[in-house]
Structure 1
Amino acid sequence: MENMMVRKIGKLAIPIVIGLLFLSACSSKKSDSKQKTVLNLMQTSELTTLDNTNQATMSEFSTLTNLDEGLYKLNTKNEVVPAIAKTVVKPTNDGKTYTIQLRKDARWSNGDKVTAVDFVYSWRRSVDPANNPVYTYVFSGIKNADAIVAGKMSPDNLGIKALGKYKLEINLEHPMQSFNKLVTMPVFLPQDKSFVQKVGTKKYATNAKNTVSNGAFKITKWTGVNDSYTLVKNNYYYAKNKVKLTKINYATVKDDNTAYNLFKTNKLDDATVSGVVAQGLQNNKNLKKVSRAWTYYLQVNQRSGSVLANEKLRKAISLVINREELTQKVLGDGSSAAGSFVSPKTAKDPITGKDFSTETATSTKANVKEAQKLWKEGLSEIGKSSVTLNLIAEDTETQKKVAEYIQSAVQSKLTGVNVKVQDLPAKSLSNKKTAGDFDLSLWYWLADYADPINYLGILTTNNSMNPGKYSSSKFDEYIANAQVAKTQKAYWENLRDAQKQLQKDTGIIPLYYVKEDHLVQSGLSGVIYHTAGFADYTRAYWK
């Protein structure tokens, strides 16, 4: 979720916009609290669509997680478990074919049955260029997906078909060890084909009236333009007896101070805070720190002719950054120093039994003496005695502070270098990166699904999400081998080798892992806070 997430997460990157139009429902919080079946939550941006074909913001991902179910979902341990599928199946045909039986008691909130055709219809829409789909890259590997996205083949040729009302067959172009995790993403949700065709694809999921869901809740009070809405219990849900809440009220809250004040007055039950507000709440009894598959790092411009195409200069910059000081004194929000691109708790390496991030991480300690040696050698190799580096960042409170810290660390520890910082709006930042008009760019990756390949795969040569143009034939080979690996052993060995190669080359400079700070009212239980993915409130309850 990088360039795409500039649109998507316009974002969660520590919002500065001050404003709130809160739900009128919150005024009745007093009566709601007596019932203990109502939950009041916030989003950081308005809801614009719930069409999983082209939804593109954090609020939509979050809402869909609590409205719908796909083939599989994640449990409390972030493990894949059945949802609409009856079981988590193992592939046949050398790992390329999945034959999946669907449960027969799943229904949409309008009473329609959830069938295999609903999955086929949704997935085809999600790769059809005519629908302006957003997440086409995650379909790569499913038979004919790339050709369809490129407009070279009809969506009808996508490798998914209904073998009966409750039986699906999915065909891949090569084995995908992460396939089961992949399809827990909202983009792989089904759509009620008859309903969508009835209301029309342009109106579908643009307001509550034109939206149906197959999960624990259905949406109400959403006009398509208002910034508050309510989820109410879906009585057609196959597991409705496990759902304790009767409704969830959502409001758009863009300012951290506002979120905190609403929480203090019991108008929010689970509020996310960041920046200065979060710093001041680290000892608050209601603070819950949620680990996310979310890494901040420096993208390094390695295009031919760029100063930092020199490996020694890249390494020197990495070595002068005191990540512990950055996380503890500059951020102070619970974030931790990063020694790997892949964040902790994203995935456990099943071959070694260890957390992938932990087992592949390098030291996060600064080594100024070694940095100065490498810097001097690097300057000599490019034939310069001094250089000017352009560091670009998004114009958010946090990114500004981090960029200033990087600027100070580099200029104070290395000689013959001037770092110019530009804080830019997201669109301008993206344009500069695309044009290669930078030396260093502060950015982040928030994983789409809990697997290391979702991080590492974006750094292959010519990947659109690799604006620094890091390129290594060995790295590319490791990723390619992982993508077609027929065994778990081969898959994880190649991922470990890819991570080591990236670190050896200093292809990027990891900085810190984000911890998401939540203020949670006492008594709220049953919420599943996923490391990759979004919080699941479908089994939440009040003690």
Structure 2
Amino acid sequence: MNKSIIKFIAPIMIGMFFLAGCSSKSATTSKKTTLNLMQSSDLTTLDNTNQATMSEFSTLTNLDEGLYKLNSKNKVVPAIAKSIAKPTNNGKTYTIKLRKNARWSNGDKVTAQDFVYSWRRSVDPANNPVYTYVFSGIKNADAIVAGKLAPTKLGIKAKGKYTLVITLEHPMQSFNKLVTMPVFLPQDKTFVQKVGTKKYGTSAKYTVSNGAFKITNWTGTNSSYTLVKNEYYYAKKKVALTKINYTTVKDDNTAYNLFKTNKLDDATVSGVIAQGLQNNKNLKKVSRAWTYYLQVNQSSNSPLANAKLRKAISLVINRKQLTQKVLADGSTAAGSFVSPKTATDPTTGKDFSEETATSTTADVKKAKKLWKEGLAQIGKSSVTLNLIAEDTDTQKNVAEYIQSTIQSKLSNVTVKVQNLPAKSLSSKKSAGDFDLSLWYWLADYADPINYLGILTSGNSMNPGKYSDSAYDTYIAKAQTAQTTAAYWSNLRKAEKQLQESTGIIPLYYVKEDHLVQSGLKGVIYHTAGFADYTRAYWK
């Protein structure tokens, strides 16, 4: 997830979550009903149809519900849908009945038309959507995104007020997990049209939600805001908290100090701060389906369009040193794009990441040879590379390490680093104004296709312009696979092709260090997706 889609924030790329087993706790039995959380970047929008940032998705996880969500065992369960629908028409049609007691925070009923309206907006080129690739496979989605068909032709329609019919172009093995992502949330059509699509989701007064909470005290530009209990939520009796306060915290030292003074109840830390807290009783280690990597600009005017130069940069990076000395938070070296524990390949019984990973050992000698050959191929004696990253402590430290490594290990190269706010970083990437960009992918749902699918040619989540016909073919075959064996075989081939062509440069897999106040219970930290605090309570 993900346009600007950061640092290790307490709440992350892609669904809505549900915590079973906490419903017995109610607000009347809790000693405390307020929770203080952090984001690592400011919230810029809550319009799920044209954004995909971590701050947005983590907030939406606690504001809204879609058709389905994940429970504490990472299983898909009904949310606004009454039950998990079984597909008909050879796996291509889903008829989903919606609950009739779901309401928006302004009292409006949640209807099938709200899903139709939101999904159409999410593929409409006029809305500048950035997460369109996840709709591929839904009837006519690709043609609509390409501007060849009207959004009204998308394979979703309302059959009455509370029945939704979704039509696919081919069976999709991960469909139920896919629609737990925030991008598939509904929107109150009446409200959005009343305030206007340009204003919707830009501040609290222009936003409504259908989940456990609603947002307040957000102007659209401030660095703190509050979620308050939604009186219209159909399961409000299961929600113990009355308020969640969010504050943007960009550096680890501040996060730690706010936690020590009880101003944060769940804080994420890394680097030197995390290293000194490994034996702290409040430390909780959270495994994430989350890979940090370098996006590499491969457009024709970039020196890194040269494959040998890209490979050389990858080979000089000592990932073990990066994770153990710079991050020091339990994160591990990445040898593939898909992170460990995301999914088990059912055809081999092996962890997909582990079975497709390449060596993470640096090879400076080979790198120097490739670098020299690459410079000769592009006809240059030296190059200057622009590395951009977000202005968080973690990304600053990692960017500085990458800069130092490249300049010290390779000759005739200068690396200039810019650390920027999320919005500015996104703008630069959209404009192609970079050579290297420090970025990450946090899986929105637990399937390798959620990672690999974003790097196909022309994908909106692929600002490095990686384009490889063999890779595109493998992904297309996986997406239309009729058998489990064909699906996983093509995914393995795609991961291998990505690594051989150095389409991106994987750096490390995130292990999130949380400082959690004693007494906070009921929070669920999914490996894929974002933390769900909707059933949290104080003991």
CA drift of 1:184 comes to 1.1
Q: Which has the higher relative contact order, 1 or 2, with Cα contacts under 8 A spaced 6 or more apart?
A: 2
Matches within 5 A, 1:380-399: 382=377, 387-388=382-383, 390=385, 392-394=387-389, 396=391, 397-399=393-395
Residue 23 of structure 1 corresponds to which residue in structure 2?
none
Residue 420 of structure 1 corresponds to which residue in structure 2?
414
2:81–2:97 contact (8 Å) kept in structure 1: yes
Relative to structure 1, the CA distance from residue 60 to residue 317 in structure 2 (aligned partners, 3 Å threshold; closer, same or farther) is closer
Residue 96 of structure 1 corresponds to which residue in structure 2?
92
Sequence identity percentage: 80
Residue 104 of structure 2 corresponds to which residue in structure 1?
108
Higher mean C-alpha deviation, range 293-302 or range 366-375: 366-375
1:404–1:421 contact (8 Å) kept in structure 2: no
Deviations 1:37-58 (A, max 9, x none): 2222223344444333345543
Q: 1:159 aligns with which of 139, 152, 155?
A: 155
CA drift of 1:126 comes to 2.8
Q: 2:316 aligns with which of 315, 320, 332?
A: 320
Q: 1:506 aligns with which of 494, 499, 502?
A: 502
CA drift of 1:430 comes to 6.2
Bigger Rg, structure 1 or 2: 1
- SS of the residue 2:180 aligns to: coil
Relative to structure 1, the CA distance from residue 136 to residue 257 in structure 2 (aligned partners, 3 Å threshold; closer, same or farther) is same
2:403–2:417 contact (8 Å) kept in structure 1: no
CA drift of 1:353 comes to 3.4
Deviations 1:208-261 (A, max 9, x none): 455432222233444555544333333433333332223323334344333222
Question: Structure 1 unaligned runs (5+)?
Answer: 15-31
Q: 2:66 aligns with which of 67, 70, 80?
A: 70
Matches within 5 A, 1:117-516: 117-198=113-194, 200-201=196-197, 204-222=200-218, 226-302=222-298, 311-312=307-308, 314-368=310-364, 370-371=366-367, 378=373, 382=377, 387-388=382-383, 390=385, 392-394=387-389, 396=391, 397-410=393-406, 413=409, 417-426=411-420, 440-516=436-512
CA distance in 2, matches of 1:194, 1:386: 60
CA drift of 1:479 comes to 0.7
Relative to structure 1, the CA distance from residue 528 to residue 95 in structure 2 (aligned partners, 3 Å threshold; closer, same or farther) is same
1:395–1:423 contact (8 Å) kept in structure 2: no
Count of aligned residue pairs for this structure pair = 519
2:375–2:382 contact (8 Å) kept in structure 1: no
1:393–1:399 contact (8 Å) kept in structure 2: no
Letter in 2 for 1:420: T
1:94–1:486 contact (8 Å) kept in structure 2: no
TM-score, normalising length: structure 1:
0.83
CA distance in 2, matches of 1:503, 1:132: 30
CA drift of 1:512 comes to 1.0
2:474–2:494 contact (8 Å) kept in structure 1: yes
CA distance in 1, matches of 2:45, 2:297: 35
Letter in 2 for 1:295: T
CA drift of 1:389 comes to 5.6
CA distance in 2, matches of 1:222, 1:428: 20
CA distance in 1, matches of 2:445, 2:223: 27
CA distance in 1, matches of 2:196, 2:426: 34
- SS of the residue 2:532 aligns to: coil
Relative to structure 1, the CA distance from residue 91 to residue 424 in structure 2 (aligned partners, 3 Å threshold; closer, same or farther) is same
Deviations 1:387-441 (A, max 9, x none): 5462523264444443443455455555xx2231111244776677667676554
RMSD: 3.4
